[in-house]
Structure 1
Amino acid sequence: MSASAKIVLRKKPNSKGLFPLAIRITKNRRSTFKHIGHYIDIEDWDENSLRVKKSHPNADSLNNLLSSKLSEVDKGLMNLQSENNDVSAKQIKRNIYKPISSLTFFDYIKEHLEALEADKKLNRLTTDKALTTYIRDFHKSKELRFQEIDLRFLNRFKTYLMGQRKLTETSALNIMVLIRLIFNRAISDKVISKDLYPFGKGGFKIKFPDTHKVGLNKNEILTLESVQNISPVERHSLNVWLYSFYFAGMRVSDVLLTRWTMIYDNRLHYRMGKNGKVVSLKIPIKALAILKSYQKEKIDEDDFVFPEMKKADFTDPKDIYRKIKTATSKFNKHLKSLTKKAGINKKVTMHIARHSFGNIAGDSIHPLMLQKLYRHSDLKTTNYEEWAKIASSHPWLNTYFLLVPKK
C-alpha cells in the first residue's frame, strides 16, 4: 500500500486551548504526525477544505506554510516510492525529515525572526532581534554551531551579560530562554542530536529570580480617579488606563484597537491580539461612562473609540506596532505625572492596570475565575456571568465591576 500525506488539525489542545497544525503521514493504516509549530482556535479551521479560515488574522501566511510543508512531504514520498522502499510511516517521517547538519544556530535564529515577521508578531520580533545582538557580540563570529553552545559557553555568556553588558539577571536569562527555544526547535526538526542539549538536568538551569510588580490598591484607585487639576492629555491617558483596569487589565493594544462596531447589546466583542481568541464581555458601569465621554469624537460606527489608531496604516503591521508603542510610551509618561499629583508613590504604567485588578480582585475571586478574566484560557459568557455574581456579593467590587443589566 502506498503512503499518503494530509494536512490536519490535531484534536489535542495546548494549555491555551489552541490546536496544533500538522502533516499526517499514513502507511498501512498507521499514521505519524509532523507538527508545523503553529496553533489555532478550532473555530478557525475549515475541515472540508483543510485550510485555515479567513477569520484567523494570519490565514494567508499559515496556508502558504502548510502548502509548502505538504509539498515537501509529497516530494519525499515520491522519492521513497521510486526506490521501492517498503518502510513504515515513522521511517518515512525520519527519512523525509533527515538531519541537516549544515544548519547553524544563527541560521535557525534567522528562520525564527522571519517567522515572527510573517506572523506579524512585531513586539516579539523587536525583542528577539535585540537579544540576538548580544549573542553575536559575545561570539564575535558570523557562524555559531550548536556544538559550540555547551554548559561552559552558557556560563561564560551569562557572566559577560551581567558583567560587561550590565544586564540584570532576569534580562540575561531571557536571552538564555531564546537560546533554549532555538535548541528545542533544532532537536524537534532532527537537525541536531538531543545529546547536544545544554539545558536541564546536568546542564544550564534557567531559574528566574522572584519579582513582584506592585499594583495599586482600591484606595489608590479611588484617589487616582478623583485627581484634580490635570491637563486634557493627562485625562485621556487616565481614561485609557482606567478602561483597561475596568476590563480586568485588558492589554493596551486591544484597548487602542477598540472600534465602536465592537460595542453593541451592552457588550464589548473583540478578538484578543495576543492569542486570536474572540471574547464577548458585558461592559462595566465605569467603562461605559468612559465610552460615553468619547462618543462626540465618533466619525462613524467603524471609527476607533480612542484616537491613537485613527491614522494608522492597517496595510503595514509595522506602522500599527509603532503607533501602539508610541502611544504606550506617551501614556506611561503622563501616568507618572498623574500619580505624582495624586500622591501615589508607586510606579504606574499601562501594564500595571493588570496587576492592580489582580491585587484588588484576588482576595475575593477564586484564582481559576481570575485566570479566566485574564484570558489565559477560554472566556465564555457564562463564566463572565458567574464572575458578576461573585462581584455582586462584594460591595467594593460591585461598585466598580457590576455589569450593565440586561434590558
Structure 2
Amino acid sequence: MKSRSTFSVLFWIKTSKDSNESATLYARITVDGKRVNLSLKHEIPLNHWNARRSKVSGRSPEAKEINEYIQHVRAELFSCYRDLKLEGEIIDAESVKKAYLKEEENLETLSSLFKYHNDNENHNLSQATISHYCTTQRYLLEFVGKKYKSKDLLLKRLDYAFVTGFETFLRNYHSKDHYGYMSNNGAMKHIQRFRKMVRIAINLGWINHNPLQGYSIKMHKNEREFLTQVELDKMVNLSTSIDRLDLVRDLFIFSCYTGISYGDMMNLDFKNLQSIDNSLWITTKRAKTDNSVRLPLLSIPLEIINKYSDHPRRKNSSLLPNLSNQKLNSYLKELADKCSIDKNLTFHMARHTFATTITLTNGVPIETVSKILGHSRLATTQIYARVLDKKISADMNALRNILESKKS
C-alpha cells in the first residue's frame, strides 16, 4: 500500500539583533515531518504579530495587505505541492521550496509587458500607433479591474477565457466621449495589438503558452464611406456662428481637398510649405508609413490656411489650429445633422472623400492618387476605384429605371 505524504505550511517571524521593533516573515514548509524555511523578505511589526493565528492583528490597510500576501503565498505553496504530485515527482520540502522560487521568478504582469513593448517598440512605431497601443493597454487594465477586481494581472493567468472575456468587454464598452458602442473591427484591432504583445511575452519566455491559440480574429469588410459632391458642397456652404463647428468644418474640408490624415495634418507647420512651379505645395511624410507626400494646394485649402494664420489654437509654427481627434469626431456628428448628411461622419472620411469625389471621379489617374495619399501599395488605392464602380452601377441602374418608366 502506497503511503500518503503529509504537507503543511506555517508562517512565523524571526527577530533580529539589530531591531527590537520588527522581524522578518518566514514560511516553514513541512513534508513528511521534514521542514525547510523560506524567507519572504517582509518586515512585520513585532507588537502586531499574532503567533497563534500566524497573521498580523488589526484592520489597518497595512495589516490587510500583509495578511492577503500570506494567503497568496500559502495558496502558491499548496499549488506547487499539488503540481509536483500530479507530475509524479519526488516530493520533499526542498523541492516544494524550489518550485515556489521558480514560480516567483516568473511574476511578470500585463503592466510590465506594456512597459517593455512601449520602451522597445518606440523606434519602430509612429507616435500615433504607440497611442493606439496605449489605448488598448488601458482597455485591458479596465477589463482586469472589472473582471478580476485587481489593478494588474500575472501573465501566467492569461488564458482563452481571458481573451473571449476581453472581446465581450470591448463590444459592450460605451465611452462617454463616443457615440454608440465599439464596432466589430474596432474591437478586433485591440485584440490584434494584444496578440502582438502576447507574442513578445512568449519570445521573452515570460509565458510558455499562447492564450489566443484557437481564437479567430474576424474583421468585417466595410465599404469605405465618403461624401458625394452634393454633400461636400453642403458642408462647404454651411453658415454657422458657432466657432468650434466652423473650425471643425474647415479642418475636415482641408483634409477633403488634400487627403492628409488627422495625425499628419496636426503635425504640419510652415516648413512643409514649398513653392514649386509657381504654386504652393505641401511636402511631408506619412507618420503611419514614412512614405513621402507631395501635393500642390488647391484654392480651398489655401484659403483655410490663410483664414487661421493668426488663430489662438495654432501652436508655434503649426499650419493649422490644434484640436484633438476625439473632439473633432464628436463635433462632426453635429455638423452632419446641421448639413442633413445621413452618414456616420468621421474625420477619416475626409481622406476617403479626397480619393473618390475630389480626385478619381474627376479623372485623376489612380497612380497619382496613390502617390498623394502616401499608400505603400497601389492595391490599397484600388479599393476606392471599386467603391466608385459600385456607385456608378447604382446610378446607372437608377437611370435605367427612369428611362424604362418613360417608355411605359
The TM-score, its normalising length taken from structure 1, stands at 0.51
1:209 counterpart SS class: coil
1:285 corresponds in structure 2 to 299
Instruction: Name which one, 1 or 2, has greater alpha-carbon Rg.
Output: 2
1:307 counterpart SS class: coil
Is the alpha carbon distance of 1:132 and 1:362 closer, same or farther for their aligned partners in structure 2, counting shifts above 3 Å? farther
Supply the RMSD in Å over aligned alpha carbons.
4.0
Distance 2:297 2:256 in 1: 12
What are the residue-to-residue correspondences of 1:171-320 with 2, within 5 Å?
A: 171-189=186-204, 191-192=206-207, 196-199=209-212, 203-212=214-223, 214-248=225-259, 250-265=260-275, 266-295=280-309, 303-308=317-322
Deviations 1:308-359 (A, max 9, x none): 3xxxxxxxxxxxxxxx42xx44444543443333332223232221222234
Give structure 2 stretches of 5+ with no counterpart.
Answer: 1-103, 175-180, 379-408
Please, which of 142, 145, 160 is the counterpart of residue 151 of structure 1? 160
Deviations 1:142-194 (A, max 9, x none): 44234x4343443354456556988654454344223311222234445555x
CA contact (8 A) 1:241 1:353 kept: yes
Deviations 1:180-222 (A, max 9, x none): 11222234445555xx33446xx11111234345321111112
CA contact (8 A) 2:252 2:350 kept: yes
Q: How far has the Cα of 1:288 moved from its partner?
A: 2.4
CA contact (8 A) 1:362 1:370 kept: yes
Please, which of 111, 114, 139 is the counterpart of residue 116 of structure 2? 111
Say which is worse superposed, 226-235 or 251-260, in terms of deviation: 226-235
Is the alpha carbon distance of 1:182 and 1:285 closer, same or farther for their aligned partners in structure 2, counting shifts above 3 Å? same
CA contact (8 A) 1:224 1:342 kept: yes
Q: How far has the Cα of 1:103 moved from its partner?
A: 5.7
2:376 counterpart SS class: coil
Letter in 1 for 2:108: T
Q: Percent of pairs identical after alignment?
A: 20
Is the alpha carbon distance of 1:191 and 1:339 closer, same or farther for their aligned partners in structure 2, counting shifts above 3 Å? closer
Is the alpha carbon distance of 1:289 and 1:131 closer, same or farther for their aligned partners in structure 2, counting shifts above 3 Å? same
CA contact (8 A) 2:272 2:283 kept: yes
Letter in 1 for 2:158: I
Give structure 1 stretches of 5+ with no counterpart.
Answer: 1-99, 309-323, 380-407
Distance 2:167 2:377 in 1: 38
Is the alpha carbon distance of 1:108 and 1:246 closer, same or farther for their aligned partners in structure 2, counting shifts above 3 Å? same
Structure with the bigger RCO (C-alpha within 8 Å, sep 6+) is: 1
Letter in 2 for 1:154: V
Distance 1:163 1:139 in 2: 17
Q: How far has the Cα of 1:374 moved from its partner?
A: 2.7
CA contact (8 A) 2:308 2:321 kept: no
Letter in 1 for 2:332: L
Corresponding pairs, count:
256
Indicate whether 1:341 and 2:342 are aligned: no
